[in-house]
Amino acid sequence: MRDKRDYSLKAHNTFGIEARCKRYIEYINIEEAQETARILRKERQPYLIIGAGSNLLLTRDFEGTVVRSALQLTHFDEERLNCGSGVEWDNLVEHCLMSGFYGAENLSLIPGDVGAVAVQNIGAYGVEAKDIIERVWAVEIVTGELKVFSREECEYGYRWSKFKGAWHNQYLITQVDFQLSREFRPHLDYGNIRQELERRGITTPTPEELRQVIIDLRRAKLPDPKELGNAGSFFMNPVVSRDQYEELAARYENMPHYYIDEDHEKIPAGWMIEQCGWKGRSLGRAGVYDRQALVLVNKGDATGEDILRLCHAVQHDVRDKFGIDLQPEVNIV
């Protein structure tokens, strides 16, 4: 178990924000997760559970203990994959394809660890993590016991799970079971996947070709955190009522939208931010990415407060123009 005091978190958040914590603990197996839970109970200090920091904005030093999983165990059993919560997600997607297990291709190149995937219910190009998650294994902090939760018990929703709600800070995730398929059934009808395949002269993509298209599409609109600090999509795409959607559609003829059900539509947050004139603009050392308005970036030595100030300015303008409150997708601490 890795256990450090007065520890810098700059390498543990993709915004590249300098912040420190009083104590930092990494566990590499279930027993160490249980020992970590015991430490957290004994200390009775604030604690923060993180993954790779790809969905995290630090606005200050953390006056407590930061915990991260480094559990790497991965095991295939027929069409089920049991994976340690510390495994890097995109490495897992690639490993699945190389091993002939399919279902995660559309989630290629999303940064983060497996444990965070189960908490956040990541999604992209018409696929969400909940579509392939079967069970989540976690150590209950208050008892130290290992619990197993079904997908239904996790109550997954759009960028949501019970781990973000009623179970927040109650569990240390150790493993996730994914239900995959030996048969490749590509999901091609979201965004511009088909258009890009056609441009490349591909009518029936292989799993590897689909993964490469997804990777190229993401790289074309999202900056590399190693070059420009960011946490990917900063805001969630709002789901609005049918009445509100129709009122906005009457005002904005070409407004993009995605059907949810008879009573709801999803409106891209990036489009609204762009309509407010924020795409490519900066506020001090923080900015809105010039290729994708959904992404806020650290333009150099920005603090967490700089990013948060930009967040609030964008929210204000979108609310003023569209009457919609944008909700951050990132965890703001």
Kindly list the catalytic residues: 159, 233, 329
Which residue from 166, 171, 169 is spatially nearest to 46, judged by alpha carbons? Answer: 169
Name the DSSP letter for residue 238: P
Q: What is the CB-side half-sphere exposure of residue 100 using CA atoms within 13 A?
A: 5
Cβ atoms of 36 and 133 within 8 Å: the answer is no
- Cβ(273)–Cβ(291) below 8 Å: no
Q: Give the residue among 135, 128, 127, 174 at the shortest CA–CA distance from 151.
A: 135
Classify residue 204 by its DSSP letter. S
User: How far, in Å, CA of 242 to CA of 259, rounded?
Assistant: 10
Residue owning tokens 């949501």 = 160
Phi, psi of 192 (to 5 degrees): -110, 35
Q: What torsion do the CA atoms of 9, 15, 18, 21 make, to the nearest 10 degrees? A: -30
Strand extents, DSSP E, the chain: 2-8, 20-27, 47-50, 56-57, 62-69, 74-77, 80-84, 123-124, 127-128, 133-140, 146-150, 171-179, 229-233, 239-241, 258-261, 264-266, 282-283, 286-288, 295-298, 331-332
Other Cβ atoms within 10 Å of 4 Cβ, number: 13
The 10 Å Cβ neighbour count of residue 21 is 25
Asked if 211 and 93 touch (Cβ cutoff 8 Å), the reply is: yes
